[in-house]
């Protein structure tokens, strides 16, 4: 577990750059040495020269550009395995997005992205195309790209909304993204080559309130949304201008743009705070403000399971394995749930808690100070959880939805914690996750 305190301000949201541990190569292109990670398996040894084709694109990290290996000669100077440049984009409850780079145990702020005029609500960093998309309460979204001179340049996206943008997420193939907003709609944005411009299409019906969360199906077509009208929905976000016709999924066959594939939740349930598809995309989990955790299984006739818990509401839900769900929220703790084959949800364990210091003897001075300040004689040194306030955002640090190895949480206490999932897993003794 690694902790980093950004400051006193709450962390609104955070997003990581591409995989943090990867094979790297130092290659020579057009007079410069670049550290790159090769997409796909490219067998190269130091001193070797070879032509890199279009399909063997190289995701550059220094100077940060997406080096397009378009039929050029590269020379390998060094290869190894290690941490690549590890960067995280965060917004600390302000109009700015800050990019922090990991240096040893500390994080240094290397870029400040300030184009939004009001608070940033959501950030998503596309790993492969190395682009960042941000949304804010100023009703705008920007796509940021790193140019050759190591500066992040914003491009305005025309969202056509009259309320705050609340959440944003790249599709798995990174050719489009969705923005949820208070205007009771989702803007699905894609790049229009002719106009050199990000344009958006709206999904309006039947959303009746602010869209609070989004998640993409792995097929790049379906989009799950959760909103403050207590409902989780699965939409088709198929854009015929840029994509091939999609194949049928358990969620439905017909997939014209904006079509409601499924709708879950009735009058009860509270605001939906987070939705998440599993790795295969056949199951959808969501959490609501009624402290419940819900699961819909598409192949078994949309069977919905609802587990009402005794905790404070969850703000985030994440799949940490094929059969395990991780939630975090106002309780400031991480809870692990097991999903059974029949779609049942059972609570397994609280993770990473119990770091309460041993009760030390209270001095007379402490006692009187406590009585004076807090009108209590109890020695209160904060919560037993790692986070001292609500956890608002959980993301995968290493691994994928089917096998998370590390994940990160940020919260209102301004703390970012990177957890080692495997060691947490082993702490759940005797339980298979």
Partner 1 sequence: MKLSFTKKNIEALKLILANPPASKEKAVKVTELALRAMSSFKASEVEKGVQSLSKDEVDTLMKFIYKGFETPQDNTCGILLTWHEKAYAVGGVGSILRVLTDRMSI
Q: Kindly list the residues in this chain that would bind partner 1 in the complex (CB under 8 A).
A: 230, 267-271, 288-292, 308-313
Question: What is the spatial distance between Cα 174 and Cα 43, in angstroms, rounded to a whole number?
Answer: 26
Q: Report in angstroms how near the CB of residue 327 gets to partner 1 at its nearest.
A: 12
Closest to 273 in 3D by CA, of 332, 336, 352, 328: 328
Kindly tell me which of 100 and 230 has the beta carbon lying closer to partner 1.
230
Kindly tell me which of 140 and 291 has the beta carbon lying closer to partner 1.
291
Q: Report in angstroms how near the CB of residue 230 gets to partner 1 at its nearest.
A: 7
Q: Report in angstroms how near the CB of residue 389 gets to partner 1 at its nearest.
A: 16
- In DSSP terms, 220 is beta-bridged to none
Kindly tell me which of 246 and 270 has the beta carbon lying closer to partner 1.
270
Kindly tell me which of 169 and 289 has the beta carbon lying closer to partner 1.
289
Structure tokens at 158: 């025309």
Kindly tell me which of 269 and 281 has the beta carbon lying closer to partner 1.
269
Q: Report in angstroms how near the CB of residue 346 gets to partner 1 at its nearest.
A: 13
Do 107 and 146 form a contact (C-beta atoms < 8 A)? Answer: no
Q: Report in angstroms how near the CB of residue 105 gets to partner 1 at its nearest.
A: 36
Kindly tell me which of 160 and 306 has the beta carbon lying closer to partner 1.
306
Q: Report in angstroms how near the CB of residue 331 gets to partner 1 at its nearest.
A: 8
Kindly tell me which of 154 and 313 has the beta carbon lying closer to partner 1.
313
319: left (phi over 0), alpha (psi -120 to 50) or beta: beta
Kindly tell me which of 271 and 337 has the beta carbon lying closer to partner 1.
271
Kindly tell me which of 136 and 269 has the beta carbon lying closer to partner 1.
269
Kindly tell me which of 57 and 387 has the beta carbon lying closer to partner 1.
387
Kindly tell me which of 203 and 328 has the beta carbon lying closer to partner 1.
328
Q: Report in angstroms how near the CB of residue 340 gets to partner 1 at its nearest.
A: 18
Q: Show the 3-state SS of the chain.
A: CEEEECCCCCCCEEEECCCCEEEEEEEEECCEEEEEEECCCCCCCCCCEEEECCCCCEEECCCCCCCCCCCEEEEEEEEEEEECCCEEEEECCCCCEEEEEEECCEEEEEEEECCCCCCEEEEEEECCCCEEEEEECCCCEEEEEECCCCCEEEEEECCCCCCCEEEEEECCCCCEEEEEECCCCEEEEEEECCCCEEEEEEECCCCCCCEEEEEECCCCCEEEEEECCCCEEEEECCCCCCCCCCCCECCECCCCCCCEEEEECCCCCCCEEEEEECCCCCEEEEEECCCEEEEEECCCCCEEEEEECCCCCEEEEEEEECCEEEEEECCCCEEEEEECCCCCEEEEEEECCCCCCCCCCCCHHHHHHHHHHHCCCCCCCCCCCCCCCCEEEEEEEEEECCEEEEEEEEECCCEEEEEEHHHHHHHCCCCCC
What DSSP character marks residue 249? B
Q: Report in angstroms how near the CB of residue 336 gets to partner 1 at its nearest.
A: 17
In degrees, rounded to 5, the angle at the alpha carbon of residue 355 between the alpha carbons of residues 349 and 359 is 125
Q: Report in angstroms how near the CB of residue 391 gets to partner 1 at its nearest.
A: 16
Question: What is the spatial distance between Cα 256 and Cα 74, in angstroms, rounded to a whole number?
Answer: 44
Q: Report in angstroms how near the CB of residue 261 gets to partner 1 at its nearest.
A: 25
Q: Report in angstroms how near the CB of residue 271 gets to partner 1 at its nearest.
A: 8
């Amino acid at each position: 577990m690694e902790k980093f305190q950004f400051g006193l301000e709450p962390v609104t949201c955070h997003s990581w750059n591409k995989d943090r541990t990867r094979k790297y190569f130092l290659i020579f292109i057009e007079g410069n040495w670049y550290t790159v990670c090769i997409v796909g398996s490219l067998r190269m040894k130091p001193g070797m020269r070879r032509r890199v084709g279009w399909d063997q694109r190289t995701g550059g990290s220094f100077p940060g550009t997406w080096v397009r290996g378009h039929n050029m000669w590269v020379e390998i100077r060094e290869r190894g395995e290690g941490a690549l440049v590890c960067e995280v984009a965060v917004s600390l409850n302000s109009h700015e997005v800050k990019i922090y780079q990991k240096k040893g145990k500390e994080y240094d702020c290397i870029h400040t992205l300030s184009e939004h005029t009001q608070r940033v609500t959501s950030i998503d960093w596309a790993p492969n195309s190395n682009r960042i998309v941000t949304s804010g309460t100023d009703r705008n979204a920007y796509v940021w790209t790193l140019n050759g001179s190591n500066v992040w340049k914003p491009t305005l996206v025309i969202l056509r909304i009259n309320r705050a943008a609340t959440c944003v997420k790249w599709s798995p193939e990174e050719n489009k993204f969705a923005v949820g907003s208070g205007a009771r709609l989702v803007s699905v944005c894609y790049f229009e080559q002719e106009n050199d411009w990000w344009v958006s299409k709206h999904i309006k019906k039947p959303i009746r309130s602010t869209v609070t969360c989004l998640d993409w199906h792995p097929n790049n077509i379906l989009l799950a949304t959760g909103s403050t009208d207590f409902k989780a929905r699965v939409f088709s976000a198929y854009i015929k201008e840029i994509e091939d016709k999609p194949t049928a999924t358990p969620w439905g066959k017909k997939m014209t743009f904006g079509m409601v594939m499924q709708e879950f939740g009735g009058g009860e349930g509270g605001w939906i705070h987070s939705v998440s598809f599993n790795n295969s995309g056949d199951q959808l989990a969501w959490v609501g403000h009624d402290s419940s955790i819900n699961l819909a299984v598409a192949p078994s006739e949309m069977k919905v399971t609802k587990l009402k818990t005794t905790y404070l509401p969850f703000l985030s839900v994440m799949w940490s394995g094929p059969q395990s769900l991780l939630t975090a929220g106002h309780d400031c703790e991480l809870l692990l749930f097991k999903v059974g084959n029949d779609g049942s949800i059972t609570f397994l364990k609280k993770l990473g808690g119990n770091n309460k210091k041993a009760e030390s003897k209270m001095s007379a001075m402490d006692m009187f100070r406590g009585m004076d300040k807090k009108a209590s004689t109890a020695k209160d040194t904060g919560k037993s959880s790692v986070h001292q306030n609500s956890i608002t955002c959980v993301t995968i640090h290493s691994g994928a939805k089917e096998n998370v190895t590390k994940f990160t949480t940020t919260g209102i206490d301004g703390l970012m914690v990177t957890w080692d999932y495997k060691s947490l897993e082993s702490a759940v003794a005797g339980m298979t996750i």
